[in-house]
Structure 1
Amino acid sequence: MEKQVDVVIVGGGISGLSAAYHLHKKDPSLQICVLEANDRVGGRTLTVPLKSKDGTDYWDLGGQWVSTSQTAIWNLLKELGLETYPQFHTGTKFMQIEGAQVKSYRSDIPPLSFLALIDMQLFTMKVERLRKTIDSKDPYKCQRGKELDSKSLETFLKESLWTTGAYKLLEIVLRTDTGLDPSQMSTLSFLDGVASAGGLDNLLGMEENQAQGLKVKGGTQQISQIMAKKIGLENVLLEHPVDEIIQVSVYV
């Protein structure tokens, strides 16, 4: 079925639907079509209902944290009327690195060896020095931009850390935080993320103004679901993968 549209957006995750939502707000007369390969909207956000003693709870299996310092998503949440609540992070914590023994602890300091903790601190200091050289508006402007962009985060970790405990812990933490293996992203991309967050602690921390500080009541997938309703569900085509995009130059 052919449909005449003004704007086609590929992807029904938060980014794609945000683009459609803001375009629709600016000009409601625009005919917008969002093409999504999956059978749902939300992209990397997925919220599932689970029965609880009080009825039904909603659990996020994908991206789930927000922060007051993340102004774009924070303003969008307020605009859509969604509420947040603090991430629970008190009590006993458990850590297992590869096949090692499971260790429990209650402080904010992981149960690593003294040398591994020193290694972690030195790494944090190195990242802080480098991220201050990054201009988030144009990361390539920094003096070592080309070098850092050509080096994977995995290589950067191996060059910067000298204890196995610190390396394995950071590998797991950064994979969880970025959604990528360290081998799949450049050091410059990582440092740009740290710079945008205002430091490594803010990127990995769980206080209200830190990246893992707040969760969305009802789950994060509803951000996309609400925006899809705002632009009209008939304009969001699910199970419509895009195989090819052809650019044609038209001269008048």
Structure 2
Amino acid sequence: MNVDVVIVGGGISGLTAAYQLHKKDSSLQIVVLEAKNRVGGRTLTLPLKAADGTDNFDLGGQWVGRCQPHIMALLEELGLTHVQYLEGKKFMQLGSDRISSYSSDIPSLSPLALIDLQKLMFKLEWMRKQVDIRDPYQSPYGAEWDAMTLDTFVNNQLWTKGARDAIETALRGMLGVELSQISVLYFISYMSAAGGLKNLIEATEYTAQEYKIVGGAQQISQKLAASPPSCVQMQQPVSKITQ
């Protein structure tokens, strides 16, 4: 078989690349090599028991928003719909063993923890304005912030356990890693590219968690893999590339 294009990885990026290349030139012979036995990459949707039977739950990446015009356009093209529920009672366990609930946008932390958290957010907003996302290392604080982990920074800034638990939970979900695994400079650059922390952690209009995909985010890859050129080969890890 003659192949014109080989794409490594059957996640959203690799499958979108194959899909768009096929739309540009349907004569291209395209193959996508995926190491796992499924498509989807960091998106994984599994059926789990729910109150009314079985529902689809996302265990990996799951949110999209209008601040991401490319994925929103792809969802429309694939016929996938989206929704996000904001109303109702929320439950949390932060700062202690006690499970609490709240209905507003503000978590039910102690007044001291809320003040602590707000001070950190003011500090992060100031820090992101010191970084040019086109060249973060040229920031006056570039070397200093790149030499410090986000975990160290958060522990140095926050005084209350409730505030630390809240920010650690939010950042783990956002970044998919422990705070000890990335530098402060990386996080500030990431946050700055999004226009601020609020755009990354909220589910309001034009933020990163504005919508969830009905039926699960893995459908994006599954639908792309089932459409032309339908060229995905599973369990084919790539260990070497020669051009």
* TM > 0.5 fold call: yes
Aligned AA (2:56): Y
Q: How does 1:50-89 map to 2 (within 5 A)?
A: 57-85=55-83, 87-89=84-86
For 2:68 and 2:194, locate their aligned partners in 1 and report how far apart those are by CA, in whole Å: 8
2:139 corresponds, among 142, 149, 155, to: 142
Q: Is the 8 A contact 1:131 1:199 kept in 2?
A: yes
C-alpha displacement of 1:220 = 1.1
Map of 2:162 onto structure 1: 165
Map of 1:13 onto structure 2: 11
Q: Is the 8 A contact 1:208 1:214 kept in 2?
A: no
Map of 2:21 onto structure 1: 23
Map of 2:172 onto structure 1: 175
Aligned AA (1:108): D
CA gap 1:150/1:21 in 2 versus in 1, 3 angstroms: farther
Task: Give the % identical residues.
Answer: 53
CA gap 1:174/1:53 in 2 versus in 1, 3 angstroms: closer
SS across alignment from 1:82 = coil
SS across alignment from 1:133 = coil
C-alpha displacement of 1:247 = 4.0
Map of 1:46 onto structure 2: 44
TM-score, normalization by structure 2: 0.88
TM-score, normalization by structure 1: 0.85
Q: Is the 8 A contact 1:130 1:191 kept in 2?
A: yes
Aligned AA (2:236): H
Deviates more, 1:66-75 or 1:17-26: 17-26
**How well do the aligned residues superpose, as a CA RMSD in angstroms?**
2.4
CA gap 1:24/1:151 in 2 versus in 1, 3 angstroms: farther
Q: What are structure 1's unaligned runs of at least 5 residues?
A: none
Q: What are structure 2's unaligned runs of at least 5 residues?
A: none
Question: How many residue pairs were aligned?
Answer: 243
| CA offsets 1:11-35 (integer angstroms, 9 cap, x no match) | 1111221222222223333322211
CA gap 1:8/1:98 in 2 versus in 1, 3 angstroms: farther
Map of 1:131 onto structure 2: 128
